């Protein structure tokens, strides 16, 4: 599955390689959680790093720069969940690390040929589990065995907004919402869906342009 995420990213870049595009690096800090899991839970702090390609879709006539882009991205993301089943015990930790492939459509506000530094981005995100663990005390007996199995593939939606602060630098805020089940056996009787979510703050840096 790790290879699949890399192949998906390279294929997205490859089919448009005849066009001009920019190559960049991205990093973020975030709080993530697994919804509908545990009784008393708190988001876990984590980080992510990756690379992206920015491919113009619709050009901006006056300034010779696009206002609509396709932005495939490959990232390593540290996600998971914290829980505290008993007030007098240490919290449980559920670190789940992913290779993620968000594919954004990135829109810059523009008017009469003038292109703003403000942008919105949105698109699907695919994730492939590369590491998971469980640390801390045992939880409630009612959840015994339900966290033993975890899905290695997931998908969802990633949305964000940002600002280009210099020619080569951007800052952004981002929210990811998963639609796939993380623990397939979790609370099966009540058909509760466990899914990933993430809220982060990050930066993009443009490394090189290819014309």
Token couple for 67: 């206002």
6: three-class secondary structure by DSSP = helix
Backbone angles phi and psi of 4, in degrees to 5: -65, -40
Q: What single-letter DSSP state applies at residue 10?
A: H
What is the rounded average pLDDT of the residues 36-53? 86
What is the rounded average pLDDT of the residues 3-20? 56
What is the rounded average pLDDT of the residues 74-97? 84
Q: Is it the case that residue 19 has pLDDT exceeding 60?
A: yes
Residue 84 domain boundaries: 2-210
Number of domains in the chain: 1
In angstroms, the Cα distances linking 70 to 49, 67, 129, 168 are 19, 10, 25, 17
Identify the CA nearest to 111 among candidates 159, 70, 161, 61.
61
So what's the pLDDT on residue 18? 45
Q: What percent of the chain has pLDDT over 70?
A: 79
- CATH no. for residue 145? 2.40.160.20
Q: Is it the case that residue 111 has pLDDT exceeding 70?
A: yes
So what's the pLDDT on residue 191? 59
Residue with more model confidence, 210 or 35: 35
pLDDT tens digits for range 112-141? 778 889 999 999 999 999 999 888 777 666
pLDDT mean across residues, the chain? 84
Contact assessment for residue 111 and residue 139, using Cβ atoms and an 8 Å cutoff: no
Q: What is the pTM of this model?
A: 0.85
pLDDT tens digits for range 174-193? 999 999 999 888 765 565 67
């Amino acid at each position: 599955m790790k290879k699949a995420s890399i192949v998906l990213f390279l294929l997205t870049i490859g089919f448009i390689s005849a066009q001009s595009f920019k190559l960049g690096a991205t990093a973020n800090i975030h709080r993530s959680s697994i919804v509908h899991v545990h009784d008393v839970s708190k988001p876990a702090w984590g980080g992510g790093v990756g690379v992206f390609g920015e491919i113009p879709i619709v050009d901006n006539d006056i300034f010779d720069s696009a206002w609509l882009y396709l932005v495939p991205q490959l990232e390593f993301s540290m996600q998971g969940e914290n829980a505290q089943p008993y007030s007098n015990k240490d919290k449980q930790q559920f670190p789940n690390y992913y290779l993620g492939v968000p594919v954004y459509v990135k829109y810059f506000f523009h008017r009469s040929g003038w292109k703003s530094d403000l942008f919105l981005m949105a698109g699907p995100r695919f994730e492939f589990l590369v590491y998971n663990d469980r640390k801390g005390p045992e939880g409630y007996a009612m959840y015994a065995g339900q966290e033993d199995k975890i899905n290695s593939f997931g998908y969802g939606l990633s949305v964000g907004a940002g600002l280009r602060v210099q020619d080569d630098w951007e800052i952004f805020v981002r929210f990811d919402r998963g639609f796939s089940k993380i623990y397939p056996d979790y609370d099966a009787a009540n058909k509760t869906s466990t899914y990933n979510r993430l809220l982060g703050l990050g930066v993009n840096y443009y490394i090189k342009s290819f014309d």
